[in-house]
Structure 1
Amino acid sequence: MDTIVNLSTKECSCGEFHSDLLPYRHAMAAISKCKRAATEFCLDYYKTRSWVEGYAFPIHPVGHPSEWDIPDDVQQNVVWPPSWRGQTGRPKRKRIPLVGEGSGQHRCSQCKSYGHNRQNFRTSFASLSTNRETSSAQPIALRR
C-alpha cells in the first residue's frame, strides 16, 4: 500500500489515522519500523486508564419518572412524534418470509416428491422422449 505516514503530526495520506487517532495497519507498520510503542500514538480515550477513571465514581440510576424534578417550563412543552405517511405505491400482496420459515424444498413436477426438481430427477425420461418422437405429426398443446 502506498501511504505516507507522518508520526510526528499523527497524520497519514488516507486520513484514517488523523480522523480516529488510532493507528491502522499502515501506521502500525511505520511505528514498528521506528521501534516505538503503539500506545504513544493512540488517543487517551482508547487507553485503559481513561476507562478506569470513567468508572471510578459510582453511577447512580435515574429512578422512577415520578421522582424526577422537572422544571415547569420544560414540563409544559409537549413533543409529538413526526407525522407518518405510508409508503408510496401499491402494497405488496405477499409478505417476505423470515429465515427458516416456509418449506424451502423443491417439488418435482414428474413424481410429486420433495427434495429435487425435474431437471435433476434420478431416472431418465426415456418414455417421454419416445412418445414425442412417435407422435411428432400431432400438434402438442402447451399449458401455461
Structure 2
Amino acid sequence: MAIDMEDGQLTEYAKKEVDERTGESRFCYATACGGGGEFEVRDAHVNFPIRLSTRRCGCGKWKISGIPCKHALRVIYDQRLNPIDFVSPFFKSATYKLTYADHIHPMSDPTQWPNFSLPTIQPPVIKRQAGRPAKKRKRGPNEPRKGKRNNNVKCGKCREFGHNSRTCKNGGPSTGPSTSAAAGASTSQGGLRGRKRANTAT
C-alpha cells in the first residue's frame, strides 16, 4: 500500500520494469565518449548514444517511459550509480502518496437529490444500417483473423481451387454458353428448317 512505502521507494510497476531491463542490460556494452556524461552503448549490432545529464537515449524509451532503458542502465551500473536516482519522480513514493492523498467524499441517496426542471437526456436514436447486420465485432488493424479459410472453393473460370469466379485473377475462359449447348441449338434450328421445306413441298 502507498502508506507503507518508504521515502524514495519505487512503485511496483517501476521496480518490475527496472528489474527486467537490468537483466537485458547484461548483453550491452558501454563506452565513455571523452567525459561530459556522454556514452555510446552497443546492443547487438546497433549503437545508441547516451547522455545522463539530460536522461536521453537514442532508442527513445527512457524519454517516453521515464524509466531508464537497458542501454542507460548499462551505463549507470558501469559508473557505480544508483538507478533509482534516474527514474522519474512520478514513479516514487512521494508522488504516489500525493496522488492518493485526497479521499472520496460520501454521497447522499438518489432519493434525496434535489429536483431540477431540466429535460431528460435520452440515448441517441440508432439508425439501422442498410444490409445484413454484422454479427461479429470489428477486428483491430493488427488483430489476426481467427479460423481457416475454406480452400475447397473451385473457380468457375480457371477451374482452380482457393477462390471463386468473382475474385479470379487468372483470366480463365469466357463464361458464355458451352459448345454442347451451342451445337444442340444449331441442330434444333436445322430440324425446323427441314420440316418447313417438307410442308412447303406437300
Q: TM-score w.r.t. structure 1 length?
A: 0.45
Q: Which of the two has greater strand per residue?
A: 2
Q: Which of the two has greater helix per residue?
A: 2
Q: TM-score w.r.t. structure 2 length?
A: 0.34
Query: Which structure ranks higher in relative contact order (CA pairs < 8 Å, sequence separation ≥ 6)?
Result: 2
Q: Which structure's CA Rg is the greater one?
A: 2
